[in-house]
Amino acid sequence: AQTVTQSQPEMSVQEAETVTLSCTYDTSENNYYLFWYKQPPSRQMILVIRQEAYKQQNATENRFSVNFQKAAKSFSLKISDSQLGDTAMYFCAFMGGGSQGNLIFGKGTKLSVKP
């Protein structure tokens, strides 16, 4: 069975600085997708970034980028120029190629951005 591990329950960063959130996963599949979701205090689940396993190039979305290391099964999220609005829970999620859309989530990392 696939598993997703986020080893940092809580992190903090100063505004305007850069922070990296870690995520590792375990799977025997070769074709899969990885995601980072943001959950602010409003409780909404917001897709931050997505990576297809068959793509070697790391995904980027404005201030958010990933470091995808397929052989190491690692998928970290880097947030540059952190803003107060980035304060949230961040969940790493895995979707297998044949899963029909089902997501497997990590336990989350609570990120606090301090002024």
Nearest distance from residue 8's CB to other proteins, in Å? 13
Please give the C-alpha separations between residue 45 and each of 14, 53, 91, 108, 112, in angstroms, as whole numbers: 24, 22, 9, 12, 17
Nearer to other proteins among residue 50 and residue 73 (C-beta): 50
What distance in Å separates the CA atoms of residue 106 and residue 115, rounded to the nearest whole number?
Answer: 28
Task: Give 10 or 15: the residue with its C-beta nearer to other proteins.
Answer: 10
Please, which residue, 96 or 113, has the CB nearer to other proteins?
96
Q: Return residues touching other proteins (CB under 8 A).
A: 4, 9, 31-33, 42-45, 47, 50, 52, 91, 93, 95-97, 99-108
Residue closest to 22 by CA, chosen among 81, 107, 83, 80: 107
